[in-house]
Structure 1
Amino acid sequence: MNKPSNTADMVLHPVRLGIIQGLLGGRRLTTAQIAEELPEVTPATLYRHISTLTQAGILEVVGQQRIRGAVERTYALRIEASELSPEELNSMTEEQHRQAFTSFVAGLLRNFDRYVEQADGVDLVRDGVGYRQTAVWLTDEEFGKLAEGFRSAILPYADNPASPERTRRLITSIVMPSA
């Protein structure tokens, strides 16, 4: 595996993106727990990508304990280190954007598949699951206000700790101009 040259190469690889998505929401997971989130990834591949993300400062070790002679590490995401700068986004080729979007959508599909395969059944209304598309006509200024409104609405909840009363919910947005 070639060493990624920038944040885009680092985080937009399908396996690494899956690891990052699994840690969103302040989750702290061991390698074994990450492996449960990505059962299609072999252990050797998973360890290699976790190591790559840790060396890059995107993951941090937040705990470790000895289990049967081996050290089990617990990881957390350093969200600020995983974000792409505007310069990095602008320097990506069309093909790199296509690959990145495909990896992103594959992660969404993986999460949805896990949801519909739950043992306790699927109830979109009970679980607050929805997917829809809406078209709106906006100036750049209006779009900026809309985007800031989304951020302002979500930000107060972004650092909620996990608890038995809370359900981890993935809020995904995809915004693009219509052709």
Structure 2
Amino acid sequence: MATSTLLLHPVRLRIVQSMLGHAQTTTRELAERLGDVAPATLYRHVAALVDGGVIEVVSETRVRGASERSLRLNLSRASVDPDDEALVDDERVRAGFLAYLASLASAFDDYLAAPRSTLEADLVGFRQVAVFATDDEWREVAATIRDALLPLIERSERPEGARRRILGTVSLPVD
């Protein structure tokens, strides 16, 4: 199955996003994070992501007679290739984008519902900016952002005080 087909599904996209920033997670932890997803549905979509190589099974252990899997996100397969042929279908792309926006809204709702200090103290922000840039300039900006984030994405140990943060980006030309 094409990566876009896997990732442009709302439940599978939420599974992948809930795994971002975690070295590994169990299926039970996924069920806790995605409490509104029925267990049978969750397990079916996790299986599809495993079959598609987006999620890797790190280990399996027996817990009270059941098998519990530890899972790791395969970051090289956890994003859609812009050249993917499935992206020519505007309705599928729109559905995937709306699922992405819904997952950001859900994460923001979770943040607002939890005990917290202030948006400023928690470094929460959302904004839009408009710039005029050539395609080459914009590629350079995107590469700079990626290069700045890579050490944080790839580090194996979490320093004391580090919090899992979500950075969502949308880039599109608007004429």
| 8 Å CA contact 2:53, 2:77 repeated in 1 | yes
1:91 Cα offset (Å): 4.0
- For residue 62 of structure 1, report the CA deviation from its aligned partner: 1.3
SS at match of 1:125: coil
- The 8 Å contact of residues 8 and 93 in structure 2, kept in 1 or not, is answered as no
Shift, 1:51, TM fit: 0.8
Match of residue 21, structure 1, among 17, 21, 25: 17
Q: Aligned to 1:138, which of 112, 133, 136? A: 133
Number of aligned residue pairs: give it.
174
> Hey, what does 1:77 align to over in structure 2?
73
Q: Name structure 2 gaps, 5 residues minimum.
A: none
Q: Is the 8 A contact 1:26 1:159 kept in 2?
A: no
SS of 2:68's equivalent in the other structure is strand
Task: Tell me the alpha carbon deviations over residues 99-150 of structure 1, each in whole angstroms, 9 at most, x when there is no partner.
Answer: 11001001101110111010x2342111111000011111112112211111
Residue 103 (structure 2) aligns with: 107
Q: Answer yes or no: is 1:155 the counterpart of 2:146.
A: no
Q: Any conservation in 2 of the 1:62–1:75 contact (CA below 8 Å)?
A: yes
1:126/1:89 Cα in 2 relative to 1: closer, same or farther (>3 Å)? farther
In the TM superposition, what are the counterparts of 1:1-179 in structure 2 within 5 Å? 5-88=1-84, 91-118=87-114, 120-160=115-155, 161-179=157-175
Deviations 1:37-72 (A, max 9, x none): 111110010011111111111111112222111111
Q: CA separation in 2, counterparts of 1:71 and 1:78?
A: 21
CA-atom RMSD, angstroms? 1.6
Mark the CA change 1:86 to 1:80 in structure 2 (over 3 Å): closer, same or farther.
same
Aligned equivalents of 2:2 and 2:42: distance in 1? 20
C-alpha distance in structure 2 between counterparts of 1:31 and 1:53, whole Å = 12
Q: CA deviation at 1:153?
A: 1.3
**Counterpart contact for 1:8–1:84, Cα < 8 Å:** yes
Moved more, 23-32 or 12-21: 23-32
Report the alpha carbon displacement of residue 83 of structure 1 after superposing the two structures with TM.
Answer: 2.6
**TM-score of the pair, normalised by structure 2:** 0.92
3-state SS of 2:127 partner: coil
Cα gap change, 1:90/1:10 in structure 2, threshold over 3 Å: closer, same or farther?
Answer: closer
Structure 1 portions without partners, runs of 5+:
none
Q: Which amino acid aligns with 1:106?
A: A
